[in-house]
Structure 1
Amino acid sequence: MKQPSAPQEHRSTPRRPTGRDVAQLAGVSQATVSLVFSGSEAGHRVSETTRQRVLDAARGLGYRPQAAGRQLRLGRSGMALLAVPNLQGPFFGRVLAGVHEEAARHGLAVVVSSGWNAATLAEAATTSRFDGLLICSPDDGQLGALPPGTPAVFLDADPATAGGAPTVELDLAGGMRAVVAHLVGLGHRRIGRLRSSHAAYTFRVRQAAFEQAARGLEVLELGVRLNNGAAAARLAGLELLDRPDRPRAVVCDDDVVASGLYQAAAELGLRIPADVSVVGIDNVAVAGLLTPPLTTLDLPGERLGRAGIAALAGLLHGEPVREVEPLTTSLVVRSSTVAVC
């Protein structure tokens, strides 16, 4: 005889946290929670301390505001576009990390794009897909006039081509002075340079700053196409280090180029730093993994991303454009540089 089946245990679906739950945990009214998540200037009527308390409570509960309804009310998508020249560039990973961290505080989601040009940027600006644009380290060929009124912020870019949009720059001149001063302090007077041949504002600034800092020194210089990565840098490094008057120190335009120079030195039987000191730029993860670890100029990519998205959020809230001071850079001294014997 068929046995009666056991009654199935009833499993209730966990209730989704609401704004009322957030208000109770944060010790505020539901109206205050609504203001914090309004995505408009209304959110600025709440003190920063209270706002942070509400955000912490929401994060702890896993609360997410109903984005679709809010976007319909505000006429926004809640999304920003981060345009970088090369998704494979490790420095842009640092920028993206900072962008994502700060975007969450402003209720924005971020989409990343590379290989864009003026036409695709203009198209992105005129559709409803993105509320604003973050344009980072653009190539000369990627720039063009944006439609009037486009909320946009430029990172590591030429203010003269930003059309009055906010720009966040890096103190590359101060950084290059620190790089050259470090090598001069170690007794180096003949310095090699593997510079980027990429047509972009950021690399022109680096080159001009290096030339000014290295006045009075003997400089041996070769260009490298950064998009060809460490392989191109290896070939340039072989050419530079195989000279009879090879330099005892080399400044590379980024850490990936420095890794290519490490390969060239090894092939030529040269030791770093005993035979050649090496300095990079960016301070990405590879810098600390090389043998020996690379002395490099730290470009604060995370801070650049955070400052950029904060400026963009201000634009979206109708705040006046404020000038942002260039972000400080710092030399990270590791084991790839040594005094001349």
Structure 2
Amino acid sequence: MTDANHSDVLDGTARPGEDALSIDEVGSLATDVLDNVTTVIVGQDDVIEHVVVAMLARGHVLLEDVPGVGKTMLARSIARSFDCSFKRVQFTPDLLPADITGVNVFDKRSGEFEFQPGPIFANVVLGDEINRAPPKTQSALLEAMAESQVTVDGTTREVPSPYTVIATQNAVEPGRTYELPLAEVDRFMKKLQLGYPGTDEEIELLDRVAGEHPIESLSSIASANDLSRARDAVSSVTVERPIREYVTSLAGYTRENAELGASPRAAVALLRAGQARAAFEGRAYVVPDDVKVEASPVLAHRLRAGDAGRSGVDIVADALETVPVP
């Protein structure tokens, strides 16, 4: 596995003649990644599953919680599990968009401008404490997250494939952080929280880090190409019309019962997450339970309740209780 200073950018696009993985192979790959990450991260199996499912569904992930619960370590462990390029961006108030996307630098020898790519050009990009930078800087990620490309000085360049942004967000110190723009929040497939470990889990964590930190010996168990082929398999998972109608009805419920409801992008994200969840479970078709499991992580962070005391999580829970299951 490469670290954040690696200069190579790997393209994990499936090679000509290579087919998508089988559904069983996708399930095995996902399980292997989960097992690999749990050697570092203790007691967060559900969160790890959600991150892996999002990556299989071509999505991006926002991890929000208090400092010190393992958000950055989780992102690093996931990235290390895949043998692909990895870059980390430490978001700070003085960070500029060009520090992320890259700049054109004049080469005196050639008399021409040469593009120096920024850390956004990697298979896995970790945006650490993303809400410590102002919205203008945060917006440098928008084009890459939505369209897998970056435009600098009028020239558009594709980011590597596969491509995933995992961002962490500080949930405290509101006076020292910036709120993420709604357009950016909507581009994250999932928003997840880790929470504090239980007593036994924390004791096990302390035992693991008493010597060398386990992430230092964590090895990759899948390639970027494996991830691309797994994504191809996920995109072929069958979604029957009743399931599509169910997703649409859930999104519609949020629009009718919130100040800001789920966007069409959110409905697409939920459907794709359902496909990935089905593949994770070893099925080539989506069932309602796949959608239910993914609904809150995919939809809740995009909603604005408008009523004091209610949250996006509450609205999604009401939708799951109210909308008929096919």
Return the TM-score normalized by structure 1. Answer: 0.27
| Structure of greater relative contact order (alpha carbons < 8 Å, 6+ residues apart) | 2
